Amino acid sequence: MEDEFEFEDKTLIFDFKGFLLKILSYWYIILISVIVGLGIAYYINVRKLPIYKISSMVTVKDDGNPLFTSNTSLTFNWGGVSNKVNTAVTTLQTRSHNEKVVKRLKSYIHYLEDGKYQKVNAYGRAPFFVEDDTTAFQLLNRELEIKVIDSLYYQLSLIFEEDAEDQTLSFLSYGDLDRKSEIVDANNYTIKLPFNKHVDTPYFTGRIMLNGKEITYNKAYYIKFENFFSTVKRFQNIEAETESKGSSIINLSLVGENKAELVDYLNSTVNVLSRDVLNRKNLFATKTIKFVDSILSVKTDELKEVERELNQFKIDNDIIDLTAESENLKERLKEYDTEINSIERQLDYYKLLENYLRNRSDYSDVPAPSVAGIEESSISKAVSKIVELSVQRGNYSFSLKSDAPIFKDIDRQINSTKTVILENIESSRSILNDQRRSLKTKISSIEKEVRDLPKDQQELLKIERRFQISENTYTVFLQKRNEASLIKAANVSDIEIIDEAKDTGGGKIGPNTQLNYVMALLIGSIVPLLFIFIIVFLDNKISKPADVEKLSRIPIIGVIGKSRLDDKLAVFTRPRSSISESFRGIRTSLQFLYKRDDNPDDTKVTLVTSSVSGEGKTFTAINLASVLSLSGKKTILVGLDLRKPKIFDDFNRHNEVGVVNYLIGDKNIDEVIQGTDYENLDLIVSGTTPPNPSELLMGSQMEQLINELKENYDYIVLDTPPVGLVTDAMNLFKYTDAILYLIRQNYTKKGMLSLINDKYSKGEIKNVSLVLNSFETKNKYGADYGYGYGYGYGRYGNGYHDLEKTYSFRNKIKESLKSLINKLFN
């Protein structure tokens, strides 16, 4: 039992050496696969368009306004250089920013021209540029052909496929990004149009203008309007990286097929960013100017009305000016009125700010505290921070989902800052109210003195006081507006170009043709190797003597080469062939087996069988009998395959009378024996197929037949049915001195040896030997096998064996491919 277990375990070991030899044997398939792969790689490489990478470099500064350092609250602060850099990097890759750049460059208009293998990007090379009407609908995702006829006219065409039916075309208005579809007749459209003039066609509305580049007349160019958002998404892959951590330098790069387009886009994206940064930097100043303008509009009307009333009063009462006493009171009131007016401006601002904080979610419209004369740094910084956070949140909303964690963090900071501002407002408002009450008390005291003045002086003083208050308020707000305008005019963007994008002649980064060839080599090699591995791994057929040794402990008595003859009489037809020599080797080995018997000189009976039909039993039996007869011994070949008789046809004999006639008692021994054309070799064919072959072979007549043949022959060779299909051959084992069990290379399955192995291990059969048939000296494993079984094949030297027929390289490939296909599907 232990030996059997070890024997079964051997079959599970993968034959790596055999696998490597198998690979070598299929070298031509690997070569063909590699050549095909390289051909595909070449086809792809020559048709791939070149890929370029263009770069630029910018820096983010932290410049303040040296003219107005005391009014920094009017300049929007991003929160330091580090935050500015991070914001700039994020902004460059947002959808909203790239939408601005695409609209500015009209990058959704794709320029094309015919290349060697396909249409290529003609941006910067076309002798014209397109200015589309963004309020009109343009044909979407279809190529419009443009040919320059002369310096005044061009031809616009839309070509449909031949025999095309009505088609549904899409149109897009790039102003409001509205879309529509229309069903049109699939008739080619061609029209002659003038350059530099607005045209309105069914497929294009706008102007096409010459740009001064060299013109090739009647050369076809193409324009295609692409989906706006698809274009934006294509350019959103711009790379924006800082030089190092904490650095203020940003390296920008963009990859594409047209260097001119990449250069323009990189420079434009920086210009748009610089403009937006400047606008954001001036956000407080801009909002303050807008806020002050709204107040000045009211104060202007108010001042004019008071001035008109003052002039009219002087005319009506014939008063030129106030008396010295009235003027003194006026100056004292002016001082207190100015102070209380400043306090009320601050209180009004606090009320406006509180209303924003409590009722609004967008805080970008809050004016600067300094416009109301509030110099408290804590409030100015807090308002600046909350506006900064509000703008930052708005920018992130274009590129991130609404549930992104950063929004929760920004909202938390906004709420925290709001709480601080509201607390400061309450505290500051309380102080200002106390100051206002004190000033009103002083004003009331002076107003008592005014009542002692003459009636006309009192009225004039009241009107002039109102005029002064309005004039002072107007002057203050006008001064604040001028300050904001100067700050806005003096500010510069924090984005500065260090190295603008430029085509310097290089920049090509693809396609990586070498990588394609390497991949072709790898894939071209791996694919056939994988198939070979599957073939080897799943192959359950015996292919070499080593397989037999792993599967069975039954000895191998010989190996027979593959015969390419038309008949089975290989020993007689080609006596000097390697196949004939292999049968001589088997004959020699059998002599050693016969000598082990107690009576070595007795007639020896050799039985030839196999697992299934087609493994070469009859071929082996015929040639074994032939080689035994050539040794000068009387030999008879008996055809006992009663179900499928064969051997008669190879000797050109009839099959009417044979073994069956003898076994049923219809004929005697002499009547069933037939002579052959060869000395010392006789033949008994099977005869007519009986209804009960197994019963006939089990009967006493079979034993009598063997005994009678032993009286006249030295060797008896029995050609029997396969034991894997029927039990006929099993009934004949008892008459034999040697049993040859046939295995055919690349035909017999490994599991077919289980039956004979089982009987051999149980001791039911002792005189059995294995023969490997149809074995090629250079088989699919690419090696010449030399086993000491007493057979000889191969070329031992010129003249020893007949030269066998060789096959051309093409035939070898055809046979190998056929074998490969059979293994894959069988």
420 alpha-carbon distance from chain centroid:
52
Residue 519 is which amino acid?
Answer: M
**Reduced to 3 DSSP states, what percent helix, strand and coil does the chain have, rounded to the nearest 5?**
50, 15, 35
Contact residues for 347 (Cβ-Cβ < 8 A; gap 6+): 429, 432, 433, 436
Query: pLDDT: is 736 or 394 the higher one?
Result: 736
Helix extents (H) in 106-248: 228-235
Q: State whether 355 and 396 are in the same domain.
A: yes
Q: Is the dihedral of CA 739, 743, 748, 752 positive or negative?
A: positive
Q: Which residues of 655-664 are buried (b: 16+ CB within 10 A; e: fewer)?
A: bebbbbbbbe
> Is the per-residue pLDDT at 6 higher than 70?
no
Distance CA 239, CA 55 (A): 9
Lowest mean pLDDT among 453-457, 640-644, 675-679: 453-457
Lowest mean pLDDT among 26-35, 213-222, 462-471, 501-510: 462-471
> Is the per-residue pLDDT at 203 higher than 60?
yes
> Is the per-residue pLDDT at 802 higher than 70?
no
pLDDT, one tens digit per residue, over 133-192 is 999 999 999 999 999 999 999 999 999 887 777 889 999 999 999 999 999 988 899 999
pLDDT of residue 71: 45
Distance CA 658, CA 640 (A): 9
> Is the per-residue pLDDT at 1 higher than 50?
no
Question: Which pLDDT band, with edges at 50, 70 and 90, does 684 fall under?
Answer: very high
Query: pLDDT: is 824 or 206 the higher one?
Result: 206
Lowest mean pLDDT among 25-34, 303-312, 490-499, 607-616: 303-312
pLDDT of residue 597: 67
Lowest mean pLDDT among 120-134, 288-302, 696-710: 288-302
Residue at 503 is within a domain? no
pLDDT of residue 800: 46
Percent of the residues in the chain that have a pLDDT greater than 70, as a whole number: 86
> Is the per-residue pLDDT at 797 higher than 60?
no
Q: Are 511 and 52 in contact (CB under 8 A)?
A: no
Residue at 401 is within a domain? yes
Residue at 495 is within a domain? no
Q: State whether 291 and 408 are in the same domain.
A: yes
Host domain of residue 533: 2-48+511-537
Q: State whether 660 and 672 are in the same domain.
A: yes
Bridge partners of 253, per DSSP, are 55, 239
Other beta carbons less than 10 A from residue 489's beta carbon: 10
pLDDT, one tens digit per residue, over 466-494 is 888 788 888 887 887 887 788 777 778 88
Residue at 810 is within a domain? no
Contact residues for 504 (Cβ-Cβ < 8 A; gap 6+): none
Question: Which pLDDT band, with edges at 50, 70 and 90, does 306 fall under?
Answer: confident
Q: State whether 309 and 452 are in the same domain.
A: yes
Question: Which pLDDT band, with edges at 50, 70 and 90, does 669 fall under?
Answer: very high
Give the single-character DSSP code of 245. Answer: T
What values do phi and psi take at 28, rounded to 5? -70, -30
> Is the per-residue pLDDT at 47 higher than 50?
yes
Q: State whether 665 and 576 are in the same domain.
A: yes
Question: Which pLDDT band, with edges at 50, 70 and 90, does 826 fall under?
Answer: low
Distance CA 371, CA 814 (A): 94
Task: Tell the burial category of 477 from Cβ atoms under 10 Å away from its Cβ (0-12, 13-18, 19+).
Answer: buried
What values do phi and psi take at 217, rounded to 5? -65, 140
Q: State whether 443 and 569 are in the same domain.
A: no
> Is the per-residue pLDDT at 206 higher than 60?
yes
Q: State whether 668 and 724 are in the same domain.
A: yes
- Looking at every residue in the chain, the average pLDDT score rounds to 83
pLDDT, one tens digit per residue, over 266-279 is 999 999 999 988 88
Residue 521 is which amino acid?
Answer: L
Bridge partners of 208, per DSSP, are 130
pLDDT of residue 480: 78
Residue 184, token pair as written in the block: 């049109």
Of 280, 313, 341, which closes a domain? 280
pLDDT, one tens digit per residue, over 350-368 is 888 888 788 876 666 676 7
Other beta carbons less than 10 A from residue 360's beta carbon: 12
Beta-strand relationship, 167-173 and 51-60? unpaired
pLDDT of residue 3: 41
Question: Which pLDDT band, with edges at 50, 70 and 90, does 782 fall under?
Answer: very low
Q: Are 46 and 117 in contact (CB under 8 A)?
A: yes
Of 238, 263, 280, which closes a domain? 280
Residue at 724 is within a domain? yes
Residue at 815 is within a domain? no
pLDDT of residue 786: 38
Question: Which pLDDT band, with edges at 50, 70 and 90, does 348 fall under?
Answer: confident
Q: Are 605 and 737 in contact (CB under 8 A)?
A: yes
pLDDT of residue 799: 42
Beta-strand relationship, 109-114 and 495-499? unpaired
Q: State whether 332 and 450 are in the same domain.
A: yes
Lowest mean pLDDT among 34-43, 351-360, 667-676, 807-816: 807-816
Geometric angle at alpha carbon 196, from 228 and 146, rounded to 5°? 60
What Cα–Cα distance (Å) separates residue 199 from each residue in 156, 179, 210? 11, 20, 15
Residue 188, token pair as written in the block: 């080619």
Q: Are 706 and 737 in contact (CB under 8 A)?
A: no
Q: Which residues of 710-728 are buried (b: 16+ CB within 10 A; e: fewer)?
A: beebbbbbbbbbbbbebeb
Closest Cα to residue 485, out of 344, 371, 400, 406?
371
Q: State whether 291 and 438 are in the same domain.
A: yes
> Is the per-residue pLDDT at 46 higher than 80?
yes
pLDDT, one tens digit per residue, over 429-473 is 888 888 888 888 888 888 787 777 777 777 777 777 788 878 888
Token pair 């063997």: residue: 706
Q: Are 545 and 604 in contact (CB under 8 A)?
A: no
Residue 447, token pair as written in the block: 């107003």
How many structural domains comprise the chain? Answer: 4
Q: State whether 254 and 309 are in the same domain.
A: no
pLDDT of residue 423: 85
pLDDT, one tens digit per residue, over 100-112 is 999 999 999 999 9
Q: State whether 261 and 390 are in the same domain.
A: no
Region 705-711 average pLDDT: 93
Q: State whether 620 and 710 are in the same domain.
A: yes
Q: Are 369 and 383 in contact (CB under 8 A)?
A: yes
Query: Averaging pLDDT over each range in 93-97, 246-250, 368-372, which range is the top one?
Result: 93-97
Distance CA 737, CA 780 (A): 35
Question: Which pLDDT band, with edges at 50, 70 and 90, does 788 fall under?
Answer: very low
> Is the per-residue pLDDT at 65 higher than 60?
no
Distance CA 474, CA 262 (A): 52
Residue at 550 is within a domain? no
Give the single-character DSSP code of 602. Answer: S
Residue at 569 is within a domain? yes
Residue 742, token pair as written in the block: 């046939």
Query: Averaging pLDDT over each range in 235-244, 323-332, 452-461, which range is the top one?
Result: 235-244
pLDDT, one tens digit per residue, over 649-666 is 888 888 889 999 999 999
- The verdict on whether omega for the bond into residue 511 sits within 30 degrees of 0, i.e. cis, is yes
> Is the per-residue pLDDT at 801 higher than 60?
no
Closest Cα to residue 144, out of 212, 210, 224, 74?
224
